[in-house]
Amino acid sequence: MSKDFQFKQFFIEQDKCAMKVGTDGVLLGAWAKINDGNVLDIGSGTGLMALMVAQRNPNVVIDTIDIEENAFIQSTINIANSKWNDRVFAHHIALQDYAPDKKYDTIISNPPFFNNTYQPKEQKRNIARQNSLLPFEQLAFHVNRLLKSEGVFSVVLPKEAEHFVELAKKYSLYLNKKMNVFPNPKKACKRVLLEFSRKEAVLVVENLTIETDKRHIYSFDYELLTSDFYLEFKRD
């Protein structure tokens, strides 16, 4: 689907980008803890999460990085058309090559998660979704390299990729908060939102169900979490 997407305070064009606006990015953009200061969005795609973060916190400057050229072009357009274009900056570069002169208070990522056995038809989508270009070990290594000592890192992953939690410990990243995401009351958890910091803490676990038992009828908790962004959801 290449249909452009209007949110409450910004507009997303997505005709050029392989990875479209999706629930994963919206959930993480709405849920992630955002410290004041510098924010890094790894694998930014359309720029969706970066703009959500800019809307949520006026006291941040955001860098986005993406290896795919059309994603970089698309995010540059979306950022330029937003009201926050003076504090969101897109970079066409791989995480492995990114060497800024600063560290980050917050890092967010909706990373590639399909393994090498999956081959999408389009090469651009392949780049966006293959973890061969950004293995989880590389993600943890570079987050450790770029995150401040008091920083926070949030990521969305498929349920079956929770082994990332143990891997992250090797790089002094400890899981503090977790949200299990269920499509509806009858289906198993498909995604997890994970928040890491440098400090070990008692894990806080939450559950979120997106839809009720009726298709396209959304749960109260999902509407509450995303109501600052989706036009159809209103805060009481």
Structure tokens that stand for 131 in this block = 């973890």
Does residue 232 lie in a domain region?
A: no
Q: ∠47-50-55 over CA atoms, to 5°?
A: 125
pTM above 0.95, yes or no: no
Rounded to 10 degrees, the C-alpha dihedral 69/107/30/2 comes to 10
Does residue 120 lie in a domain region?
A: yes
State the pairing for strand pair 11-12/5-6. antiparallel
Measured in degrees and rounded to the nearest 5, phi and psi for residue 38 equal: -95, 135
Does residue 5 lie in a domain region?
A: no
Examine the pLDDT at 162 and tell me if it is beyond 90.
no
Does residue 4 lie in a domain region?
A: no
Whichever domain contains 16, its CATH number is 3.40.50.150
Specify which residues 204 forms β-bridges with: 177
Residue 174's domain comprises 12-226
Does residue 35 lie in a domain region?
A: yes
pLDDT in tens, 181-228: 999 999 999 999 999 999 999 999 999 999 999 888 999 999 999 999
Name the CA radius of gyration of the chain, rounded. Answer: 17
